[in-house]
Amino acid sequence: MARRGKKKGRPVSGWIVLDKPYKMGSTDAVSKIKWLFGAQKAGHAGTLDPLASGLLPIALGDATKTVPYVMDGVKVYRFTITWGEERTTDDLEGSVTKTSDKRPTREEIEALLSTYTGVIMQVPPTFSAIKIDGERAYDLAREGAEVEIAPREVEILRLDIVDVPDVDRVVMEVECGKGTYVRSLARDMGRDLGCYGYISDLRRTEVYPFTEDHMVALDTLVEAANEAADEEERFAILDQYLLGTEAAMEGIPEVPLHEDAAQRVRMGNPVIVRGRNAPIEAPEAWASVRGRLLAIGVIEQGMFKPRRVFSA
């Protein structure tokens, strides 16, 4: 029987909240971070288009197991809509398909905001990663195929005007749920206002539980790595920028454990949830030891039952 090869990289775990540069793809950003940290595994929690900048949560090692908790988090984007054109990609990259000389007033834009707040139906952009009969919509669109994407339900928690720098542009901020396309917002608002519109600048500033305060620039990490005398020093410097794997569990009940109970959980056994205000039931919870994520599971009848155990 052939032996399994040793995994390449080191078993580092945690989150890097990257300030993704403009024009860099999310996959390229993950590859760069994985290489810098010498990590065995890496993945991101929510794609950002190359023409978008800002907050890209990247999980290393065991933190990749917590990616779904961040993927489902509320997101905040700041974006600029340029009026007067509709484009194939609904952003700067596409070719112009429609034009208009009309420009909306601030009052007209404000009057439309309530229409786009709450649970709404939205058609994703033709150039998107949505799958149609097993193929990506953007691949079909590039081949010249007629692409029809069914509308889907998304939630817009907040949509505000930040600035109106001139008659051709408006700067806005949106707080939204999973699956929302900001490019679709610009396209649809432009149509409703009778002037057309597309995204000319897009920046993500939050993916719950991560905010701008957690972000680190790629240049900062590269410069820090380059200053190291050797690989050991490089990793010691870079690891200071890591957030713990447990950072993804914000908002989910925590069950702090002493070492004896933690050992039981490591073996896959349930333990009693102790504490005056400890929950009796919870569909999701996480156990910690010394503040680090040990296991994700459920609480039933006052017992924490592990479903996935980590290496804490």
Residues classed as catalytic: 49
DSSP label at residue 150 = -
Q: Check if the beta carbon of residue 12 is closer than 8 Å to that of residue 34.
A: no
State the burial class of residue 309 (Cβ atoms within 10 Å of its Cβ: 0-12, 13-18, 19+).
middle
Distance CA 26, CA 312 (A): 29
The runs of H, that is alpha helices, within 78-217 are 106-112, 137-142, 182-192
Beta pairing class for 135-136 and 131-132: antiparallel
Cα angle: 164, vertex 125, 114; to 5 degrees:
45
Q: Give the whole-angstrom CA distance, residue 67 versus residue 223.
A: 27
Cross-sheet strand order for the sheet of 254-256? 254-256, 282-289, 292-300, 303-309, 271-272
Q: Are 286 and 253 in contact (CB under 8 A)?
A: yes
8 A C-beta contact, residue 86 and residue 98: yes
Task: Please give the Cα distance from 234 to 225 (Å, whole number).
Answer: 5
Q: Which residues 6+ apart lie within 8 Å of 37 measured at CB?
A: 10, 12, 16, 60, 235, 238, 239, 242
